[in-house]
């Protein structure tokens, strides 16, 4: 079974950076992310509409690469959490976590007895179909599994300290857009209510020795939220990264057209100016000097 170098790195107090995908889950996605330096890829099932089979394929494509597969499941439910772990995910993100009871269930469903209530299936995708002592596999699964609870609502924010304190919750992840929506301030990321909420999440991570997670849409957000104290950061969504790159290229090309148009206008304008200046040339030198002055 593969380990989880991201979890190990975070446990040492270091930071880990990766990316998030919800649209372009092609055969080359894990290799592209790995080649770009991503340490993990967070595969989304909440908003993407992709199937478990697609997720399982993407996880398989991570084998042999220095990139760790995490999966965001659609909701707090055993059948999602246990199945993506069985498919080989070494980390699971659960959206809209609002209560300590939910957090305990998430941990319970990600652990085998007696630590939890996860059903057993060995010689499967999550242990690479390799034989071996079951007790060792269980210990390894518990050691590598990275549990992420997303705080995205006013209820989750109210209970964030208790959620973060749950043994087995490794990370609380700021769901920034949803949080502003539920606070009644959609996309107002400089609003005092949101800023205070972000600090409350980070205070909980510091108090309980956990890590804060965030998805940075661009370089500015990446710098800002790293400076705030978030230590696991997914840089961008696949769709946003692609659009940003295409948009920059298109704007560059349109700027080239504008330069050409400006040059074309510049070749005719001076000629007209010269003729106009000649026609209006003063007769006397004094007047000419005054004009030049």
Span of 51-55, 149-153, 260-264 with lowest mean pLDDT: 260-264
- Spatial separation of the C-alpha atoms in residues 164 and 149, rounded to whole Å: 8
- Spatial separation of the C-alpha atoms in residues 156 and 255, rounded to whole Å: 46
Q: Please state the rounded mean pLDDT for residues 201-210.
A: 98
- Spatial separation of the C-alpha atoms in residues 8 and 140, rounded to whole Å: 13
Span of 119-128, 153-162, 204-213, 266-275 with lowest mean pLDDT: 266-275
Question: Is 176 marked active-site?
Answer: no
Q: Which of 47, 142, 176, 191 is catalytic?
A: 47
Residue 265 is predicted with a pLDDT of 86
Q: Please state the rounded mean pLDDT for residues 182-191.
A: 98
Do residues 239 and 22 touch, judged by C-beta distance below 8 A?
A: yes
Residue 266 is predicted with a pLDDT of 80
Residue 263 is predicted with a pLDDT of 87
Residue 267 is predicted with a pLDDT of 57
- What's the whole-model pTM score? 0.87
Higher-scoring residue by pLDDT: 292, 59:
59
Residue 224 is predicted with a pLDDT of 98
Sign of CA dihedral 83, 178, 16, 236: positive
Alpha-carbon dihedral 35, 41, 46, 51, rounded to 10 degrees: 70
Q: Please state the rounded mean pLDDT for residues 104-128.
A: 96
């Amino acid at each position: 079974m593969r380990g989880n170098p991201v979890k190990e790195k975070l446990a040492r107090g270091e930071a880990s950076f990766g990316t998030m995908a919800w649209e372009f889950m092609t055969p080359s996605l894990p290799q592209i992310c790995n080649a770009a330096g991503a340490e993990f890829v967070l595969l989304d099932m909440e908003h993407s509409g992709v199937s478990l089979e697609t997720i399982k394929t993407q996880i398989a494509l991570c084998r042999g690469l220095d990139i760790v597969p995490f999966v965001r499941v659609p909701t707090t439910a055993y059948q999602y959490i246990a199945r993506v772990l069985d498919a080989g995910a070494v980390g699971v993100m659960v959206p809209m976590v609002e209560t300590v009871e939910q957090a305990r269930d998430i941990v319970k469903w990600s652990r085998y007895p007696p630590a939890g209530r996860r059903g057993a299936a060995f010689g499967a995708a999550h242990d690479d179909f390799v034989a071996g002592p079951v007790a060792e596999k269980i210990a390894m699964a518990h050691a590598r599994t990275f549990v992420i609870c997303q705080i995205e609502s006013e209820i989750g924010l109210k209970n964030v300290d208790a959620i973060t304190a749950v043994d087995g919750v490794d990370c609380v992840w700021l769901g920034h857009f949803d949080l502003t929506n539920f606070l009644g301030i959609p996309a107002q990321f400089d609003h005092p209510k949101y800023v205070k909420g972000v600090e409350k999440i980070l205070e909980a991570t510091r108090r309980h020795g956990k890590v804060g997670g965030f998805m940075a849409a661009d370089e500015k957000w990446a710098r800002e939220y790293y400076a705030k104290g978030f230590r696991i950061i997914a840089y961008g969504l696949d769709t946003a990264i692609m659009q940003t790159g295409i948009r920059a290229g298109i704007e560059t090309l349109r700027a080239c057209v504008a330069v050409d148009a400006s040059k074309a206008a510049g070749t005719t304008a001076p000629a007209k100016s010269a003729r106009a200046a000649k026609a209006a040339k003063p007769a006397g030198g004094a007047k000419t000097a005054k004009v030049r002055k």
